[in-house]
Structure 1
Amino acid sequence: MKVHLIANMYPSKQHPNYGVFVENTEKILAQSGATFDRTVVTKQSSSIGKLTAYASHFFKVIGKSLFKKYDVTYVHYATHNSIPVLIAKKLNKNMVIYTNVHGSDVVPEFKKREKYQPYVKRLLEVSDTVITPSAYYKQLVQQKYGLRNRIEIFPSGGINKETFYEKDTRIACEELEIDPDHRYIGFVGRIDRGKGWDVFLEAAKLLKEQGGLEGCKLLFIGDGLQKDSFDEMVDSYGLRDDLVHFPLLSQQKLNSVYNSMSVFCFPTMREGESLGLVGLEAMACGTPVIGSRMAGLLDYMEHGRNGFLFEPGSAETLAASIKTYMDLPEEAKQSLRETAKQTAAAYEVDAIKPRLSKIFSI
């Protein structure tokens, strides 16, 4: 099977994590015997670079679709690829299209992206198969667009057990050059709207006021558009000395991050959180998750078994959940860690590979 992979996110040497789930999906299909012609956009460092990359991408998508023969055109992210793929489909009615929708495809996070929704809807209507990362997101897609064509679930490339696995906490801390004698309450994500970084900091402030941060540090991994607001909040809440902050890290480094944490906080408030791979990555390292009771997290989180769920946006209930976990006897914590690892195992690449091969009939 020859596949034309179209994606506006794909890893590069400079940005190895950018769209890594697209690359992981490609690898799974390649292992099943598919061959690829790739038309992708990598992360650009300037506005001019981004504009040039997208213009080139636009014309390559149309040109290749017209003059080359593929068994399947596989589209990752409907929003940014909808217009050129729809033009190509109009000119080449024999195109077989599989569209993998993610996050803001269905729930735009910025007003300027809402204008693409008619094109997203049309692309999904002409797609032979629509692929979603979770049961939650499948239902969201069905409800919003009223689709009648085939919708399949595949969890965004899954978890690579060679990258995310449990290891000794002290060794992980030493690899990050952080103090192994502290317990770490963690967050991994962009410092952007809806990611819940502010809820995390407010919960930490409440814990500190209650004496709940004694012997603990906040381990925060991320960067983003709201970095200035983040720094202001850290200082105004008096959390600077309680915080260990790294910008975005490689997946190999993230393994050490998750293994350094006592618990991982996932306070998303995004309706478009289509799965939440970071939660599963933490679980694969034996780290229980405290996550918002919403969106794709509900596909794999079980309250009291592999972590805790709290009300989205509520710093009070997040703080209470962190305290509840920290106060558990070691035997109960170990039970949660073991169940977390079992949950993640169901999302490992080897476990989910047959699903994607079946979707593509390879």
Structure 2
Amino acid sequence: MKILLVSNMYPSEAFPSYGVFVQNTEAILKDEGFSIDRAVLTKKTGKAQKALGYAQHYANVVRKGMSGKYDAIYVHYAAHNALPLLVLKKLKPSVRIVTNVHGSDVVPEVASQEKFQPNVKKLLGQSTMIITPSHYYEKLVKEKYQVRTPIRIFPSGGVNAAVFYPNKENNAELMATYKLDPNFRYFGYVGRMDVGKGWDHLLNGFAAFLNEHPEEKAKTRLIMVGSGKDDAAFFELRKRLGLEESVVHFPLMKHADLAAIYNIIDLFIFPTTRKGESLGLVGLEAMACGTPILASRIGGILDYTKENENGWLFEPGNPQDLARGLAAYNKLSKEQKQQVGQAAYQTAQQYEQKTIQSKLSAIFHELRLKK
């Protein structure tokens, strides 16, 4: 079976983590014996480069779709790829499209994303199959678009166990690598400094936790990994809250470095406020390293986080509730924390790439039977 993979997000040497889960799904399909061709766009910077990049990408999608003999076109991100695919579908009605929807595809985060919604609805209606990362997101798609297209669930490429695994016995060595003081214990965050990611609620919640438990200032620090449009606001808020020494910042990291951070930290904090948080792969990556999570009670996170079993939940956008979660975690015994960490690890194994790859394969084999 020959598949054309279409995405406006795909890793490059300069941006190795950009759309890496798209690359993961490609690897899974190849491993399952499918033949894969690509029409993808790597990250561009600057308005002119982005405009040119998208123009070339759209032309490439239509050109390959018209000339190539593909059994299916597999698209990630409906919002930014709908236009060329709708053109292609009009020119070549026989083409079969499998649309994998994510995040802002269905729940726009800023006003400028609303303009894509009519095309998203059209594309989903004209797709042969829709893939969503979670049961939560499946429900959103059904409610919003009232589509009759069959929907299948596949968790965004899954977790790569060759990269994300427990390695806490080497924490001293890992801390030295990242120049972290071993006299502190660390909480952690991984994500863009951008709208809806909750980095500001985390800073406010962590500040409240330290203010309510001043003894923690001498033994607890927060690692925040990521960059984005709100970098300047992040640094300003960190300074205003007096957290410059307590909050350690790293820019974007490769997956191997993220795995090290997940192992160094005692608790991963996932403060997203996005209703379009279709799965939350970073939470599962942390859990795969045996690290429990304290996460917003929202989105696809609820598919895998069980309160007081493999993690804890707090009200989205509520720094005080986040602070209460940190205080509650602090009261647990070492054995209780280890027990939750082990449960987190066991949960993440259900999303490991080798475990789930047959699910993606089955979706495309089902498509073959629909001929």
TM over 0.5: yes
CA contact (8 A) 1:133 1:155 kept: yes
Per-residue CA shift, 1:158-199, capped at 9, x if unaligned? Answer: 000010011122232223221122110111111111100011
Alpha carbons of 1:213 and 1:296: their partners in 2 closer, same or farther (altered >3 Å)?
farther
1:172 matched to which residue of 2? Answer: 174
1:125-274 matches, within 5 Å, as 125-167=125-167, 168=169, 169-210=171-212, 211=214, 212-274=216-278
Alpha-carbon distance, 1:214 to partner: 3.5
1:65-104 matches, within 5 Å, as 65-104=65-104
1:322 corresponds, among 320, 326, 331, to: 326
- Root-mean-square deviation over aligned CA pairs: 1.0
Gaps of 5+ in 2: none
Alpha-carbon distance, 1:246 to partner: 0.2
CA contact (8 A) 1:157 1:349 kept: yes
1:121 aligns with 2:118: no
Per-residue CA shift, 1:21-62, capped at 9, x if unaligned? Answer: 000000000011111110000011222211111000111111
Per-residue CA shift, 1:215-240, capped at 9, x if unaligned? Answer: 01111101111111111111111000
In 2, Cα distance between the equivalents of 1:292 and 1:75?
29
Per-residue CA shift, 1:226-285, capped at 9, x if unaligned? Answer: 111111111111000111110000000001111110101001000000000000000001
1:345 aligns with 2:353: no
2:54 matched to which residue of 1? Answer: 54
CA contact (8 A) 1:259 1:285 kept: yes
3-state SS in 2 of match to 1:286: coil
The code of the aligned residue for 2:326 comes to: I
Alpha-carbon distance, 1:213 to partner: 3.5
1:260-299 matches, within 5 Å, as 260-299=264-303
TM superposition outliers: structure 1 runs of 4+ over 6 Å: none
3-state SS in 2 of match to 1:252: helix
The code of the aligned residue for 1:116 comes to: F
In 2, Cα distance between the equivalents of 1:302 and 1:2?
39
In 1, Cα distance between the equivalents of 2:338 and 2:116?
47
3-state SS in 1 of match to 2:193: coil
Q: How many residues align?
A: 362
Gaps of 5+ in 1: none
Q: Percent identity?
A: 47
The code of the aligned residue for 1:225 comes to: K
2:35 matched to which residue of 1? Answer: 35
In 2, Cα distance between the equivalents of 1:35 and 1:146?
33
